[in-house]
Amino acid sequence: DTGVSQDPRHKITKRGQNVTFRCDPISEHNRLYWYRQTLGQGPEFLTYFQNEAQLEKSRLLSDRFSAERPKGSFSTLEIQRTEQGDSAMYLCASSLGRTLEAFFGQGTRLTVV
Amino acid sequence: AQTVTQSQPEMSVQEAETVTLSCTYDTSESDYYLFWYKQPPSRQMILVIRQEAYKQQNATENRFSVNFQKAAKSFSLKISDSQLGDAAMYFCAYRGRVARQLTFGSGTQLTVLP
């Protein structure tokens, strides 16, 4: 499968713990995005990478959130000191250059208990 | 800031019939892109159709077409000959010409009745 893959698909964690998610974009795609989707809502933009550079961050991305994309390949999203409000689906998407279409992964569903 | 509004949380359609999903948006930009994405249960979001704002002609992809009214800032999706596989959550999304990220509406859950 050459689509966007995310790992894990599901994560249950206790409040206060740190969690890390991984996204592997389509191999030739230089742009990578993270979105958060809560139940009954559309995805909300979190952050965007072009190659290894993090070019934009949403105000939603508090200082407990950090994202990296070393070497411009896979990306990780870490949430420190998780809170119940962090429970959501975290979606990763990738795109190539000037193309308009973003390809999404299946997401990581985080539940904070 | 741009906003996207989908005022129909749920819609249903009989198989083989036609359904229209509504979307309005607010922007001060003159050049932008609009999209409809489909999110089936437990599966990834896929692009259904897109429209460039500078194009007057409405986009069409097989059974899917849009009615783009730039002055009214309206972007509806028409699904003809609905099939059971069309059942999904549909999101309308906006992207400015310069910005890279998408701004999504809250979605419309489409049910297709056999």
Minimal CA separation from A39 to chain B, in Å: 10
- Decide: B4 and B93 in contact? Cβ < 8 Å: yes
pLDDT in tens, B77-86: 999 999 999 9
Decide if pLDDT at A1 tops 90: no
Category of A59 on φ-ψ map: left (φ > 0), alpha (ψ -120 to 50) or beta: alpha
Distance, in Å, from the CA atom of B51 to the CA atom of B34, rounded to the nearest integer, reads 5
Distance from CA of B99 to the nearest CA of A (A): 10
Would an 8 Å CB–CB cutoff place B103 in contact with chain A?
yes
Q: Which of B90, B95, B99 is nearest to B36 (CA)?
A: B90
Q: How many CB atoms lie within 10 A of CB B80?
A: 14
Considering only CB atoms, which chain B residues are within 8 Å of A40?
9, 106-107
Is the pLDDT at A98 greater than 90? The verdict is: no
Nearest Cα to B94, choosing from B21, B48, B27?
B27
Residue A60 binned pLDDT confidence (cut-offs 50, 70, 90): confident
Among A3, A4, A102, the residue with its CB nearest the CB of B102 is: A102
B1-52, pLDDT tens digit by residue?
789 999 999 999 999 999 999 999 999 998 999 999 999 987 889 999 999 9
Flag if A45 and B102 touch (Cβ within 8 Å). Answer: yes
